[in-house]
Structure 1
């Protein structure tokens, strides 16, 4: 089974951004309290801090963890298992039922494929019917 996982770089940048948002929330909360603003403004800062910490932990785990939650980069279950399968009680699927036969040049002769998503494209089409990008 293929799963989609977040890239490590974007996850680390999101973790740093979330930590900065949490720091901003602390500053906001302290400023609202010190100015005597209505309690709503201080509570807004507390929510900002909690969301920032939660997102920072999640993104840091995705950036550094071996078993990341699925989102963006395509990886095989044999390369890296999907923790969501364990979380939702699904057994790990065996991908052996998927044909592992490689196509030979004779198999693809006369066929056209999208260079962006890899799907087969009609000869007369100018744009890919799957991803919508211009075919070269």
Structure 2
């Protein structure tokens, strides 16, 4: 019983000490996070009469070159399309010319044969005026 009393007294003393220590120490408050500073604009407005930064000039030159190449490409595509149409027309005309030239030569040959027949008939009529 005495040792139980001693243990209880010891526990009470420890609790009292802990309470005294906790009352002496104040809880340390957590520091509040600082708000983020405002971010500057990505591209600040240039001061009047100052040249743009070098990268902007380079970017503008690249964009200008790109636009120029796009215009040229468009021009060449249109020109290529026109040339393809003209090539198709040329092939069709070449075929028609060959057909027409062949018919012309056949007609000339037939005409020559008919002319020979006419000359033969005239010659016969000249020899035989009685017909």
| TM category, shorter | under 0.3
- The structure richer in helix per residue is 2
Say which structure is richer in strand: 1
**Bigger RCO of structures 1 and 2 (CA < 8 A, at least 6 apart):** 1
**Which structure would you say has the larger Rg?**
2
